[in-house]
Amino acid sequence: MLPLEDGRKAVALLLETVDLGVRFGGVVALHDFSVGIDEGEIHGFIGPNGSGKSTLFNLIIGRYKPRTGKVLFQGRSLQRLSPDQRARLGMSIKFQTTSVFPGLSVLENLMLGIVGAQAPMRELRRKAWSSAERESAEHMLETVGLSEKSDQPAGTLGHGEKGWLEIGVALATRPRLLLLDEPTSGMGLEETNRTIELIQRIRSGLTILVIEHDMEFVRAVAERITVLFRGGLLTQGAYDDIKNDERVIDAYLGRGREGVLSQS
């Protein structure tokens, strides 16, 4: 990427990690990790448990501070930015362990996504629920398929519904980058299919990073896949390249076993 004459970069990459690394105690959770994410793509991250996928997400959103390297978002280093500042730049996450506002209604949950990032002092002088905000909350309700549960406390939703609500809340902030950490974990086949449909429906204008174990899911949504292994980048490519890669099969299954990955 060459700088343009007016100083801006010709940004094709929305997100970039450069030599990113972090360790906890003596354990290296991620090391020398460099990856570039194109604007508009859906990028899958796979790898065995403990390979560093969630750590990578946490470094991007600012929950962890990297020990080495940096994260660039729209060409800008996020080094000194707090989680909420990063979110306001246009990134949003659905956590691995579903996290919504359990005591508030489904509609209020979405509303918090819409107004949450506003300056608090300004909100003091403003009545809640302007008609435009209410409309976009209701629109989001439809998108995630929870219109009929709009007044129900989020804590009483089913597992899958909570997951969709969290995706909706994350989307309500109007991010450019959406991170989904195992969006189908604990879901059955039908719920997984609905999640795939949801992602297809929301993807326009959005860049999505998704961590998944479900290979069918990854195949269905991700255009490019990065495989992590022991905190490093093992390989990268389209699904068909990845699934026959010996190293990937080894990493997932250990040596000497049949390639379950290629069964699909």
Partner 1 sequence: MRRFLATPLGGGAQALAVAAVLALVTYGSGGLSGLDRATVWLDLGLFALSIALMWGYGGILSFGQATFFGLGAYGYAWLTTDTVGMNLGALGSLLGPIFGLLIAGLLALAVGYFLIYGKVAGAFFAIVTMALSFMMASLGTYWSGVFGGSMGISGIPPISIPGSSALSTRGEVAGYVVVAAVLVVVVVVVRLLLGSSFGLLMDGVRDNEERFLFLGARTAQIKLIVFVVASCIAGLAGALYASDARFVSADLMGNLLSVEAVMWVLVGGSGSLIGAIVGTLAVRGVGFWMSGVSLDYWMIGLGALYIVIVMVGSTGLAGLGRWVMDKGSSAAARRREKGGRVAA
Please give the residue ranges that form the binding site for partner 1 (CB under 8 A): 61, 63, 83-85, 87-88, 92-93, 95, 99-104, 108, 111-113, 115-121, 123-129, 169-170, 173
Residue 170 CB, nearest approach to partner 1 (Å)? 7
Enumerate residues 6+ apart whose C-beta is below 8 A from 238.
223, 224, 225
63 vs 203, which CB is nearer to partner 1? 63
Q: How far is Cα 185 from Cα 163, in angstroms, rounded to an integer?
A: 9
103 vs 188, which CB is nearer to partner 1? 103
> What does the DSSP 8-state code read for residue 105?
B
Residue 88 CB, nearest approach to partner 1 (Å)? 4
Residue 115 CB, nearest approach to partner 1 (Å)? 6
Q: How far is Cα 94 from Cα 109, in angstroms, rounded to an integer?
A: 13
> CA–CA distance from 74 to each of 2, 11, 27, 171 (Å)?
14, 7, 31, 19
Structure tokens at 125: 């002088």
Residue 220 CB, nearest approach to partner 1 (Å)? 26
118 vs 262, which CB is nearer to partner 1? 118
Residue 64 CB, nearest approach to partner 1 (Å)? 13
Q: How far is Cα 66 from Cα 85, in angstroms, rounded to an integer?
A: 17
Q: 159-172 and 106-115 are packed helices; what angle lies between their axes, rounded to 10 degrees?
A: 30
177 vs 249, which CB is nearer to partner 1? 177
105 vs 235, which CB is nearer to partner 1? 105
